[in-house]
Structure 1
């Protein structure tokens, strides 16, 4: 019984946090500058990001991966939509899912982005 109450309270808190931070449950946050924590997140899934690149792409041109800015979406965990600098004037967008429990994973990557391209849901 105590576990059920704790789970319900956690869900209520997450809903309140997401409504306050994002304006509505499940909405994207405003764009924020990347933090060391976001860079660690990118570093932790670097291999997955590289593996999402289409065959035939020179994967060496996508080194290093430097987080620039991001948006987040609270779901049953958090989706991070991150603008990543891959070289001079080269950016990609990566969607990374970090569950409440379990392994972080890369959902998808968008190529050929610029510094001026806004981060949007994908």
Structure 2
């Protein structure tokens, strides 16, 4: 799922989410709710960037309701390593204006 705008080790510029990003969000929503102790009314990706490492780190800004957003870091393993997707970090209390950056 790494885009051609992504160089190894560096993050791509944040852009619009694609269908792969939407699928990732569907898969990690229950894990995000568990980590935050909250139930999200919405879970809509609005921006994303990627970092190619031993797999791909996805940094995703997600609207969770009203003017409330979270930032996700999701690691996608290489297909030869099983291709699993894992929510590795979440930042709460974000706004639409907050920069989506490596964390």
Same fold (TM over 0.5): yes
| 1:25 positional shift | 2.9
Distance 1:25 1:35 in 2: 20
| 1:63 positional shift | 2.2
2:68 counterpart residue number:
90
Q: Deviations over 1:42-63 (max 9, x none)?
A: 101111111221xxx5x13x22
1:113 counterpart residue number:
94
Greater relative contact order (Cα < 8 A, sep 6+): 2
Q: Which has the higher strand share?
A: 2
Structure 2: stretches of 5+ with no match in the other structure: none
Q: TM-score, normalised by structure 1?
A: 0.74
How many correspondences in the alignment?
99
The ranges of structure 1 where at least 4 consecutive aligned residues each deviate by more than 6 angstroms after the TM superposition are none
When Rg is computed on C-alpha atoms for both structures, the one with the higher figure is 1
Q: TM-score, normalised by structure 2?
A: 0.87
